[in-house]
Homo-oligomer: A and B are copies of this chain.
Amino acid sequence: MDDPASCETTDDYDVRQWDTREGCEVRQILDRVADKWSLLVIALLDCQSLRFSELRREIDGVSQRMLSVTLRHLERDGLVSRTVHPVVPPRVDYALTPLGRTLHETIKALVTWTEDHQREIAEARAAYDRGREMMDA
């Protein structure tokens, strides 16, 4: 945790590369991961394939349009696969690709971190807000 080695400047960890401009993939993936619905979709597809309508039912509050564009983005990035069954009525199944599955594993670490520290965060916010109230008074 307090490993001093983590503070060394390593060649494979240049902060500048997180920049938005140029060919920075990190920013793009981060935007994808963090956009409003992608995370839910990825999590739901973790170990099952789902149809459009099933996803829509599971993800409370998502609009038809946003589910559509979210899936299109994830498909384009190779994170989700789209399978059309030529039947009537049309049936389309979505599933995580192997690549998408590895991303999900990584994301879980972040979710776990949040769960582990949400109490600390809540306390920090309360303390901060209390300080601000004092200022006003």
Return the contact of A15 from the options B40, B101, B123 (Cβ within 8 A).
B40
**Is A117 an interface position by the 8 A CB rule?**
yes
**A85 CB to nearest B CB, Å:** 18
- Min Cβ gap A72→B in Å is 9
One digit per residue, 1 when the CB lies within 8 angstroms of any chain B CB and 0 when it does not, for chain A 11-46 equals 011010011110001100111011010011001101
Q: Is A108 positioned at the interface, with any CB of B under 8 Å from its CB?
A: yes
| Residue A54, interface by CB 8 Å | no
A105: chain B residues at CB < 8 Å are 1, 6
Q: A124 interface residue, CB < 8 Å from B?
A: yes
Contacts of A61 in B (CB 8 A): 19-21
